[in-house]
Amino acid sequence: MSGPSLLWIDWRLAGRSTVRDLLFRFVLVSAASFAFLVLLLSGGSARFLASRYAITAVLRTTVSPGEGEGLAGKVAALPPVRTAVYKDPETAWREFLLAYPGLDSLRSSGGNPLPGYIEVRLRPERLTGADVERVTTALRSVSHVEKVLAGEARISRLLLVKRYAAAIAWGVFGAFAAVCLVVLVLQEKGRATALAADFAFLEERGVPAGRMAASRSAAGALAALPLAAAGVLLSGAALRYLLLRYPSLEQLVGPPGDLLLPRTMLAVAGFALCFALLAAAASLLGFRAARACR
Amino acid sequence: MIEAFRLGIFARGATLWDGVDHAFGDGSVSVIVAPPSSGKTTLLSILRGERQPDAGDVVVSGESIFRGRWASIRTYRASCCHVAERFSDPAGHTVEDLFRLSAVAGGGRIPEGERRERQERLLAMVGLASARDWRLSSLSASERVRAGLAAELLRGPRYLFLDGVVAAAGSPYREMLGGLFRALAREGNTIVMAERHLPERWAAAAGEGTAAGPFRVYKVSVPATSMAAGEQAGQAAPAGGGIA
């Protein structure tokens, strides 16, 4: 008996149903990878919350625009910070009027009453209590900063919402993965049952059942890898199209460019590997279940 | 050589048979004859290592096929073929599926083109030249055993265990099969058959046979020259030579 010949035993004995199963799996893995990519890039609700949350460093009135710009550049270099934008007093005044129209009279009494400020936004994955603390401490230690507004009173609730939202999102994804495993096991059990007579024929002729199970499992994993890769490519392309077509989605999911970040690629490779392992496990479980029914 | 030592089977609280001794030599054709329900099928399954006897042992090339090394047992079982008078086909296979399955059992070393070519030759040899796409369920008992035999021969097995095949094949094919088995035996293969009766034309050459428990084992003569076999087997001898 040579090993490799048993590897594609299902293809040799039941090619049509194997192809049918693989097509269904492709739909399944494409849907799962789309959900995975959305979750990965959005971090549950982290990206949305990070786009809404900002730390404001109110500068002293004596700070010149040049100094403000320089300070914003230094703040932007802090690891948790995604953007740090300096707004001069004039911009601050315009924003104030947009928010509270009809208060122009405040200026007539003695020039612009508002100082410049730096608006600091954190990276979604760094939106944690410790990182907020780190940035605010760094800003407070600067002599040009008059006051730091970080919403400390509400930040703990915000982080709690973020944690729960992430747990729920990944929990739903985990449940979906479990359903996928059940579907895969049922598929494998069905095929193994249909091929039971053939497996018995081979066993009678000296092909060990364990070897058949291991070969089928290995073939399942090998077939799952390119399938997962194709599914990820398809869902990645679909997600990119949606992000370009509806830019408002970027607030939730992130920019299309994030799809090609090394960490995204690494996570996607891990996803494909997990799917292959899942397929291998499903093959083994299906084979065992079919034999138990005999 | 397959040697059976003191084989025994106990079923339904009673001894079905016990103390069966016999040696099946290499390059021989043996026919185990016994009445229905005497355990012929069970004996064949013991001889090919599929079922363990309740007593005794089977030794092939000096090693037990039940207590020997796993690799030797596997090699032996891989070199066996088994064709039964009746076999079910729940998967709705065609004759070609049976050949494909046999090729997988043989390790899949035969390239697909060669497999098809051999398949056509073997099917023609057993009188089923155009049966490739026929469903097994639509075949008669005779056609089934011949198709089954042809599919098993694809792998070139060394030990052939044939259960009721000659009777099921029917009289038109009996002599053709006899010639084929002799041709295979001349190549060193061991053929062990189980039948209810020894075909009349074989009985004259087989003599009295030897008693082994409730069975009578006849040894069918295998002529030393291929000419004699060719006379009996017609097309079978050259075709059989090509498959081993």
Query: Where do the domains of chain A lie?
Result: 3-45+160-292, 54-126
Domains and CATH numbers, chain B: 2-243 (3.40.50.300)
pLDDT reported for residue A264: 92
Q: Is B147 on the interface with A (CB under 8 A)?
A: no
Indicate the residue of B75, B97, B104 with minimum beta-carbon distance to A202. Answer: B104
pLDDT at B88 over 60: yes
Structure tokens at A144: 């040009």
Smallest CA-to-CA distance from A251 within A80, A41, A95 is with A41
Structure tokens at A294: 């005999």
The alpha carbon of residue B196 is apart from the nearest alpha carbon of chain A, in Å, by 24
Residue A176 — very low, low, confident or very high, per pLDDT cuts 50/70/90?
very high
Q: What's the rounded Cα separation, in Å, for the pair B80 and B61?
A: 14
Stretch 71-100 of chain B: residues touching chain A, C-beta under 8 Å: 74-82, 88-91, 97, 100
Q: What's the rounded Cα separation, in Å, for the pair A73 and A86?
A: 9
pLDDT reported for residue B237: 36
Contact A12 B100 (CB under 8 A): yes
Complex ipTM above 0.90? no
Q: Is B101 on the interface with A (CB under 8 A)?
A: yes
pLDDT reported for residue A254: 85
Chain A residues with CB under 8 Å of B50 CB are: 204
As a whole number of Å, the end-to-end CA separation of chain B is: 18
Which of A6, A18, A201, A293 is the best substitution to test chain B (most B C-beta atoms within 10 A)? A201
Minimum CA–CA partner of B88 in chain A: A197
pLDDT at A234 over 80: yes
Q: Is B50 on the interface with A (CB under 8 A)?
A: yes
Contact A1 B74 (CB under 8 A): yes
Smallest CA-to-CA distance from B184 within B30, B19, B7 is with B30
pLDDT reported for residue A109: 66
pLDDT at B161 over 90: yes
Distance of CA A59 to the CA centre of its chain: 36
Sheet containing strand B55-60, edge to edge, reads B14-24, B2-11, B55-60, B63-64
Contact B82 A197 (CB under 8 A): no
pLDDT reported for residue A222: 94
The alpha carbon of residue A182 is apart from the nearest alpha carbon of chain B, in Å, by 25
Burial class of residue A37 (count of CB atoms within 10 Å of its CB; 0-12, 13-18, 19+): buried
Q: What is the pLDDT of residues A274-288, one digit of tens each?
A: 999 999 999 999 888
Chain A residues with CB under 8 Å of B79 CB are: 206
Q: Chain A residues with CB-CB distance to B under 8 A?
A: 1-2, 4-6, 9, 12-13, 194-198, 201-202, 204-208
Q: Is B111 on the interface with A (CB under 8 A)?
A: no
Q: How far is CA A192 from CA A14, A24, A219, A289, B113, in A?
A: 10, 17, 14, 9, 27
pLDDT reported for residue B241: 35
Minimum CA–CA partner of A207 in chain B: B105
Contact B80 A205 (CB under 8 A): yes
The alpha carbon of residue A200 is apart from the nearest alpha carbon of chain B, in Å, by 11
pLDDT at B232 over 50: no
Minimum CA–CA partner of B102 in chain A: A202
The dihedral built from the CA positions of residue A123, A129, A130 and A132, taken in this order, carries a sign that is positive
Q: What's the rounded Cα separation, in Å, for the pair B82 and A64?
A: 96
Lowest mean pLDDT among A97-101, A248-252, B45-49, B142-146: A97-101
pLDDT at B13 over 60: yes
Q: Which CATH class is domain A54-126?
A: alpha beta
Indicate the residue of A194, A196, A202 with minimum beta-carbon distance to B105. Answer: A202
Q: How many CB atoms neighbour CB A106 within 10 A?
A: 14
Inter-axis angle of helices A209-245 and A262-293, nearest 10: 140
Q: What's the rounded Cα separation, in Å, for the pair B158 and B75?
A: 11
